[in-house]
């Protein structure tokens, strides 16, 4: 048994350790040093001016929808080719 001094030390550790982590990892210096540069690698800011007029916004949405549709069609084509290859491989081994 450690006695009351050990219990006070453990309690202090259990209370102040998470607080210390929150202060260190949640502080602006940590964010600026480690996180801010990484955020732009995953989601870069828009390259041009953002559309503000309703017509411009609609055209931008149409472009995004078309790009999404093209990616979907490409994914489906690749999946179909992979399935055909699997069928051909399965039929050749039988």
pTM, two decimals, is 0.47
- What is the DSSP secondary-structure string of the chain? ---HHHHHHHHHHHHHHHHHHHHHHHSHHHIIIIIHHHHHHHSPPPSSPPP-SHHHHHHHHHHHHHHHHHHHHHHHHHHHHHHHHHHHHHHHH-
**Res 37: pLDDT:** 77
Considering only residues 81 and 39, tell me which one the structure prediction assigns the higher pLDDT.
Answer: 81
pLDDT band at 39 (very low <50, low <70, confident <90, very high): low
Please tell me the distance from the alpha carbon of residue 26 to that of residue 76, in angstroms, as a whole number: 42
The domain ranges of the chain are 1-45, 49-94
């Amino acid at each position: 048994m450690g006695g009351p001094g050990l219990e006070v030390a453990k309690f202090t550790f259990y209370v102040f350790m998470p607080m210390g982590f929150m202060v260190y990892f949640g502080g602006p210096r940590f964010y600026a040093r480690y996180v801010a540069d990484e955020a732009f690698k995953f989601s870069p800011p828009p390259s041009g001016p953002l559309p503000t007029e309703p017509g411009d916004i609609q055209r931008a949405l149409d472009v995004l929808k078309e790009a999404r549709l093209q990616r979907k069609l490409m994914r489906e084509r690749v999946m179909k080719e992979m399935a055909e290859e699997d069928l051909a491989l399965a039929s050749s081994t039988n």
